[in-house]
Amino acid sequence: MKNSSRYTVAIHVLTLLAYCGSEPVTSEFIAGSVNTNPVVIRRLLANLRAAKLVSSQGGPGGGWQLLKAAKQITLREVLAAVDGGSIFPMHSSDPNPRCPVGRAIQVVLEGHFKSAQLALEKDLQRTTIAALVESVKSTS
């Protein structure tokens, strides 16, 4: 995941929101659970809001809430929300087009990479935020 913890933190936050029920939760409170800065949380949640997973409310009593039922949110959509593109980065500078392998390798790999990523996503789709809440509760 791009060597970043954004995906893990996003799942953590959504699980926390589901765990807290329907009450709005502030970014400061969330940051306390994740152990980071509220701004980091707000930046991440802005992505999840763009994906229609959460909503935000300003002012006193405001905060963040799930926009979909926890049972309807899968780890697959969370991944798509925080890390849009491909799991496998291509060459940083394009390979040599005068080499037969260099010329073709990216096109050839693209299909295999997409297939592998699809397999990954299919597996992630099996898990919902609601399931994680249950697991968290039973991990007493």
Partner DNA sequence: CCTATGCGTAACAACATTAGTTACAGAAAA
Partner DNA sequence: TTTTCTGTAACTAATGTTGTTACGCATAGG
| Cα dihedral 15/18/23/27 (nearest 10) | 20
Out of 22, 23, 58, 107, name the contact with a second copy by CB under 8 A: 107
Which residue matches tokens 């936050």?
A: 13
Q: Which of 87, 85, 82 is nearest to 54 (CA)?
A: 82
| Least gap, CB of 59 to a second copy (angstroms) | 25
Side-chain-side CA neighbours of residue 10 (13 Å): 26
User: Is 39 one of the binding residues for a second copy (CB under 8 A)?
Assistant: no
Distances (CA, A) of 120 to 48, 66, 98, 113: 20, 25, 34, 11
Query: Nearer to DNA by C-beta: 33 or 36?
Result: 36
Query: CB under 8 A: which stretch of 6-14, 42-50, 51-59, 63-71 binds a second copy?
Result: 6-14
Using the rule CB under 8 A, give the single segment among 42-50, 53-61, 62-70, 121-129 that binds a second copy: 121-129
CB of 73 to DNA, least distance (A): 19
Rounded CA-CA distance 29/35 in Å is: 10
Q: Which residues are near a second copy by CB under 8 A?
A: 1-5, 7-9, 11-12, 15-16, 19, 32-36, 75, 87-96, 99-109, 112, 115-120, 122-124, 127, 132, 135-137, 139
